[in-house]
Structure 1
Amino acid sequence: MSAELSAPTSGGRTPPVIRVLVLATFVVILNETIMINAIPRLMEDLQVTERAAQWVSTAFMLTMAAIIPTTGWFLQRVSTRRAYATAMGIFLAGTALSAVAPTFVVLLLGRIIQAGGTAVMMPLLMTTLMTVVHEHDRGRVMGNVTLAISVAPAMGPVISGLVLQIGSWRWLFVLVLPITGVVAWLGLRQLENVGEPQAGAIDWASVVLAALGFGGLVFGLSRFESTNLTSPALIVAAGVALIAGFVFRQLSLQRSGTPLLDLRVLLAGTYTKALVLMSFAFMAMLGSMILLPLYLQKLRELSPLETGLLVMPGGLAMGLLGPTIGRLFDRFGGRLLVVPGSIGITAALGGFTQISMSMPYWQLLGLHILLMVSLAATFTPVFTLGLGALPQHLYSHGSSMLGTLQQVAAAFGTALAVTVMSARGDSLVAAGTDAITAHLDGMRLAFLVSAVLSLIVIVMALLLPNRAAAHDESDESETAAPELIKG
């Protein structure tokens, strides 16, 4: 094994460890959206209802939300190679189980295991990047990360649409299995350990509170419907209460220096602003990602494959522009990118409020590309600015919190969009409006809500600095830490 890396490297080339982790992250994130088009096939082959079949995606998201809060502690306790081997091994096991699943319950278990491996990969990639890449090169390298995390979800529905045209849903896992195996093997051959693992016992009460709290919150949000608000609201309230217990537990554990999720990351002002911006951007993005396919398939009657092909250029543009945006960030700073990007997000969502049954597809394509490019111009700098404002010993915890809130924001954005759309559509139908007009109006209102949420992204973009003052923020977090512990 090569010598351990401890100091950030600079020189215009992406470190091999990051290339390996980006490739692995691309493969595992691809699976988060690859089952979207397979729901009808699952209903037929495994004899389950549509609501039950949706759990192949919901369970993946729930597992991510439950596990990611623990990754900050985990990544500080094991070597890079062991974390990578654990994540890829778990993902491979889940993929193999899903491919041969004889029943829906076994398939669901396989998806949960898959998600367990995926939950470790993204924080591992972010933490390693911040450790081994010099501050002046982080934007460029983070751009490559953006390529992986944005192109993979965009390609999932397209790939699944193509596979389902010629084969069973099981091939979605069978084809991924050897690719994952090769990536895991290459990674273990080339991967170097970064930093030294730290000693420390795990607090199981925190694990339980995090899993039930964040998992319960995402589950409750995923259950919202216009005709069923009470029970999901109670589940969300219970999740919030458990999260509050988790927060108090972490504040207590910080006295001994072994919290599961170190909340001192919130004392870095730039990181906290970046966290808020990313959360609202994810809410707006995921709301639109659920609405646009519904509009194209339910109202414009496109096939899942046609829908995937229409939204694919936006996802590809977002990913392929990532490295360029990263280089611009390294040269000019964040404000030149984040402020126009946040305005572009609002403009695109505002454009979607004008959808109709006759809107040309080229306009829809243009709006979607504008949205994705604007998100790329926002995400890469904000990731870099936020994590760059933290001291090195908090990178893993900052990555963990960022990943956790992404899952919560995604669930909230989806729930809000679907609930607003359904409530508006149902009320218009009850008033005598025809179903198509009612559903179209509901979608317009849901897009409007997403556009309004995105205004907060603009506000936070204006508050972010052009560069992350890492040393000042670090000193501030160290000196202010006793205040948060007492809090």
Structure 2
Amino acid sequence: MDVSQPEQMNVKKDMPEIKVVPLLAVLLSGAFVAILNETILNVALNAIMSDFNVASSTVQWLVTGYMLIIGTLIPISAYFMQRFTTRQLFITAMSLFTLGTLIAGLSPTFSILLVGRLTQAVATAIMIPLLTNVILSVIPIERRGAAMGMVGLVIMFAPAIGPTVSGLIVENLSWRWLFYVVIPISIFSLLFGIKILKNVTEVSKPKLDILSFILSTLGFGGIVYGFSAAGKGDASFTDPVVFTCLIVGFVSLGLFSWRQLKMDKPMLDIRVFKYPMFLVGLLLIMLVMMTMFAMMLVLPMYMQGALAFTAIATGLVMLPGGLINGAMSPIMGRIFDKVGPRPIIIPGTILLAVTVFTYRFSTPGVPMWVIIIQHALLMISVAMIMMPSQTNGLNQLPTKLYPHGTAIASTLMQVSGAIGAALFIAIMENGQQNYLDGISSPTAEQTREALTVGSQQSFSTGFYFACAAVILALLVRRSKQEKLK
């Protein structure tokens, strides 16, 4: 990505000529295939283990490694968005994504497959914050809700259909088709971008502080990996590797933050936390992400293990909620533009708390339609909270802090998802173990009852998180763009 002086001079000239709809269409198409890729491979892990003769601990790197790359690269995206043009970043990201998808689809060994998967992750780490930053740059503050609602549709619709699509493909074709079917979409998005995408942000030449980059990588990477590992398999927070990663991560993150405060031109400007609506919005997003990610992991395990749902039935139960969430996001965005955040976010957090509370009473024998309604209400509440909170928070930031705000928000969403998943699964497993303590050979009925107890303890924790979100929602006010503090 080479930035020339003439291209920098042309950025402002391009701005009046920008056609917002084609611009967003390009970026949303790229974001869709990138986010779809995050969940589409989960159903195929068993088939990949069989084909390459690798253990579950090895194949999990296709998921953990993906999250790790995103968690470590998104923080540096603020530098990329200041250093390179919109056009350069998009073309680079989609080229990398297409290349990674091709490598993964044709991979002769597991190592090559992992290389392709991590290449896709690099592209995703560029694409997600780029999309948000462009919206902040080209959409007036009074119409950002609708635009961010479209982002919400993409972010939720892609993961919602991912497992269903991948299940159908894996059942009837090879897992490699999960990559083959994405390649034409990726190429189309790339060519579409090359043809019509223009530069919409001002380009500068900030200096990349190597020490900040190292501390950021160790900090966010250590935290994401530590919590991700703690939520999988036999690992726990007392595992030496998990414990070491978390300690290194938090210490490095503290040093990184201290260094950013001392720098005249920080790599990631944490002055964004001085803006109260950004901070409140970010805390709301983190609470909702922790609860949502955890429910998306605990709930399928509970449905299959305690409620005796099949894997296909579990996927179909959760599909309507994901689709409804995607459909609701643009609607919530338009309502946000008209009435502001409070009339949406406060009822949304109350609905979240009530819905999660009802999960505590789900026991074996509950009808499937009850679970479908519960999950749909859960995802509606998420739509009412996520995008309005993020949009309202980012609206308060000065223009120069947009790249930093989007990078921090995107990073902490990944981190909070990893934390929530590990925490809620640990609570569930602890509840199971306590119930079975002293039972040497538990029966199938006792095992189901133990899973029910553990899951309900996890749901109770989610309820407490949701109550905290209700309290935070009361602090939300409609924000206006402020000057740099």
Q: Could you say which TM-score interval applies, normalised by the shorter chain?
A: over 0.9
Distance in 2 (CA, whole Å) between partners of 1:319 and 1:203 is: 39
1:208 aligns with 2:214: yes
Q: What is residue 394 of structure 1 aligned with on the other side?
A: 401
Q: Which residue of 1 aligns with 2:237?
A: 229
Offset, 1:227: 6.4
Q: Does 1:374 align with 2:381?
A: yes
CA contact 2:306–2:449 (8 Å) conserved in 1: no
Q: Which runs of 5+ in 2 are unaligned?
A: 1-6
Does the CA contact (< 8 Å) of 2:305 and 2:451 recur in 1? no
Please tell me the residue identity of whatever aligns with 1:78.
Answer: F
Cα 1:14–1:313 shift into 2, 3 Å? farther
Q: 1:262-411 counterparts in 2 under 5 A?
A: 262-411=269-418
- Secondary structure at the aligned position of 2:159 is classed as helix
**1:43-73 CA distance string (max 9 Å, x none):** 2111122222222111111111010000011
User: 1:28 aligned to 28, 34, 40, which one?
Assistant: 34
Report deviation, 1:427. 2.1
- Residue of structure 1 equivalent to 2:114: 108
Q: 1:240 aligns with which of 242, 250, 264?
A: 250
Identify the range of structure 1 (142-151 vs 224-233) with the bigger mean alpha-carbon deviation.
224-233
- Equivalent residue, structure 2, for 1:450: 462
Cα distance in structure 2, aligned partners of 1:387 and 1:401: 11
Amino acid at match of 1:179: I
Matching residue of 1:482 = none
Letter in 2 for 1:439: L
Are 2:176 and 1:170 equivalent residues in the alignment? yes
Specify the SS of the correspondent of 2:474. helix
Mean Cα deviation higher: 345-354 or 166-175: 345-354
Residues 163 and 171, structure 1, Cα contact 8 Å, conserved in 2: yes
User: Pairwise CA RMSD of aligned residues?
Assistant: 2.1
Q: Is the Cα contact below 8 Å between 2:307 and 2:366 reproduced in 1?
A: no
Does the CA-based 8 Å contact 2:305-2:448 persist in structure 1?
Answer: no
8 Å CA contact 1:262–1:394 kept in 2: the answer is yes
The residue that corresponds to 1:121 in the other structure is 127
**What is the identity, as a one-letter code, of the residue corresponding to 1:372?**
M
Say if 2:26 and 2:197, in contact at 8 Å, map to a contact too: yes
Please give the alpha-carbon distance, in whole angstroms, between the structure 2 residues aligned to 1:321 and 1:200.
Answer: 39
Contact residue 49 and residue 59 of structure 2 kept, 8 A: yes
Question: Are residues 29 and 6 of structure 1, via their aligned partners in 2, closer, same or farther at CA, if it must alter by over 3 Å?
Answer: farther
Instruction: Please state if 1:185 is matched with 2:195.
Output: no
What are the Cα deviations for residues 215-246 of structure 1, in whole angstroms up to 9, with x where unaligned?
A: 11111111226763322223211110011111
By how many angstroms is 1:302 displaced?
Answer: 3.7
Q: Give, in whole Å, the separation in 1 of the partners of 2:300 and 2:86.
A: 38
Q: Could you report, residue by residue, the CA deviation over 1:350-376 in whole angstroms, capped at 9, with x for unpaired residues?
A: 112222221111110001000101110
Which segment drifts farther, 205-214 or 46-55?
Answer: 46-55
Corresponding position of 2:3: none
Matched, 1:133 2:133: no
TM-score (norm 2): 0.93
| 1:280-337 deviation per Cα after TM superposition (whole angstroms, max 9, x unaligned) | 1100110101011112233344443332222111111111111111111111111000
Farther off after superposition, 302-311 or 175-184: 302-311
CA–CA distance in structure 2, aligned partners of residues 304 and 5 of structure 1:
53
Deviation at 1:195, TM superposition (A): 2.3
What's the CA shift string for 1:390-438, capped at 9, x where partnerless?
Answer: 0011111100000110011000000001111111112212233621111
How big is the shift at 1:5?
5.8
| 1:76 is aligned to 2:82 | yes
- Shift of residue 106, structure 1, vs aligned partner: 1.9
Residue from 220, 225, 230 that aligns with 1:219: 225
| Equivalent residues of 1:147, 1:322 under 8 A apart | yes
CA distance in 1 between counterparts of 2:249 and 2:15 reads 39
Match of 1:99 in 2: 105
Shift of the alpha carbon at 1:14? 5.1
- Contact 2:104–2:116 (CA<8 Å) still a contact in 1? yes
Give the residue type in structure 1 aligned to 2:43.
N
Q: Which residue of 2 aligns with 1:252?
A: 262
Q: Describe how 1:135-174 pairs up with structure 2 within 5 A.
A: 135-174=141-180
- 1:463 partner SS: coil
After superposition, the C-alpha distances for 1:177-223 in whole angstroms (9 at most, x for unaligned) are: 11111111112212111022101221111111111210111111112
Amino acid at match of 2:237: L
- Change in Cα spacing, 1:5 to 1:379, as seen in structure 2 (3 Å) is farther
Alpha carbons 2:12, 2:202 under 8 Å: kept:
no
Inter-partner Cα distance in structure 2 for 1:37 and 1:194: 38
Report if aligned partners of 1:96, 1:173 keep a CA contact under 8 Å in 2: yes
Tell whether the 8 Å contact from 1:420 to 1:445 is kept in structure 2 after alignment: yes
Q: Which residue of 1 aligns with 2:4?
A: none
State how far apart, in whole Å, the 2-side matches of 1:113 and 1:228 are: 29
1:156 Cα offset (Å): 0.9
User: Which residue is 2:453 aligned to?
Assistant: 441
Unaligned runs of 5+ in 1: 479-487
- How far has the Cα of 1:109 moved from its partner? 1.8
Q: Is the 8 A contact 1:7 1:132 kept in 2?
A: no
> How many aligned positions are there?
469
Matches within 5 A, 1:38-49: 38-49=44-55
Question: How many Å separate the matches in 2 of 1:353 and 1:233?
Answer: 31
Asked whether the 8 Å contact 1:60–1:115 carries over to 2, the reply is yes
Aligned pairs for 1:59-70 (under 5 A) are: 59-70=65-76
**Could you tell me how far apart the structure 1 residues matched to 2:70 and 2:125 are?**
5
Aligned partners of 1:376 and 1:335: how far apart in 2? 14
The equivalent of 1:484 in structure 2 is none
- Match of 1:168, SS? coil
Please list the CA deviations of residues 19-49 of structure 1 after superposition, one character each: whole Å capped at 9, or x if unmatched: 2111211110000011111121122111122
Cα displacement (A) at 1:111: 1.3
More deviation, 444-453/388-397: 444-453
Note closer, same or farther for the CA distance 1:215–1:227 as it changes in structure 2 (3 Å cut): closer
Corresponding letter in the other structure for 1:403: S
- Aligned-partner residue type, residue 446 of structure 1: S
Q: 1:34 to 1:227 in 2, by over 3 A?
A: closer
Identity %: 35
| C-alpha separation in 1, matches of 2:152 and 2:329 | 6
Cα distance in 1 for residues equivalent to 2:300 and 2:307: 10
Once the two structures are overlaid, the 10-residue window that deviates more, 410-419 or 421-430, is 421-430
